[in-house]
Amino acid sequence: MTKAKLIPGFELGWADGVKRCVSPHFNARPDGEVSLLVIHNISLPAGCFGTPYIDQLFQGCLDIAADPSFNALKGLEVSAHYLIRRDGEVIQYVSCDERAWHAGVSSFRGRPGCNDFAVGIELEGTDNQGYTEPQYQHLLRLTLGLMARYPMLNLDAIVGHSDIAPGRKTDPGDCFDWSRYKRELTLNLSL
């Protein structure tokens, strides 16, 4: 597969060819800068895939009565820029030109407040279960597109949530294949 076939275009921070599910949980980036990519994981309820609850959470309309574990999410205002589902479907919630609320209390290379300058990609999954082939394929495609659109992004500025919030967060977990992901990125960037 050639690099050109992998890279989506962007208009006003929205990726071409992905589903939009707009979240109200965002605001303006203070400096308009995108220089960090943060990989997360999420499943609602924990370990359950293919449910509508992630969309509902990010849109601020999660029915907390749908599962007892959702009580802890009552009133939470959170979003990510993207979700990549187990089957590879990519959903965008917030324009990458805006600040999504995904990183929380965080720091990258001594700089606090990663939401200010990061794009957040959620993978539907858990820390202890492998990710799917379609997820890796679409993550690669999306990452290449983001790197083309935002030149401050580079291989050294792609991290897990656990890297920017150590001790507080563990995602994307030990089952995420960082070696494969970075190797495929490097290969495609050299084409």
Please give the chain's pLDDT, 191 residues, in tens.
Answer: 445 355 788 989 999 999 999 999 999 999 999 999 999 999 999 999 999 999 999 999 999 999 999 999 999 999 999 999 999 999 999 999 999 999 999 999 999 999 999 999 999 999 999 999 999 999 999 999 999 999 999 999 999 999 999 999 999 999 999 999 999 999 999 88
| Distances in whole angstroms, Cα of residue 27 to Cα of each of 5, 41, 174 | 32, 22, 32
Hey, what are 164's tokens? 């920017």
pLDDT at 81: 98
Confidence at residue 94, expressed as pLDDT on a 0 to 100 scale: 98
77 counts as catalytic: no
Q: Which of 77, 122, 124, 133 is catalytic?
A: 122
Pairing of strands 82-84, 14-15: unpaired
- Contacts with 5 (C-beta within 8 Å, 6 or more apart), sequence order: none
Predicted confidence at residue 8, as pLDDT, reads: 81
Question: What pLDDT does 102 receive?
Answer: 98
Helices in 42-177 by DSSP H: which ranges? 53-59, 133-149, 161-164
**Quick one: pLDDT at residue 1?**
42
- The predicted pLDDT at position 6 comes to 55
Exposed/middle/buried for 66, CB within 10 Å: 0-12, 13-18, 19+?
middle
The confidence score (pLDDT) of residue 9 equals 84
Q: How wide is the angle at C-alpha 80 spanned by C-alphas 11 and 178, nearest 5°?
A: 100
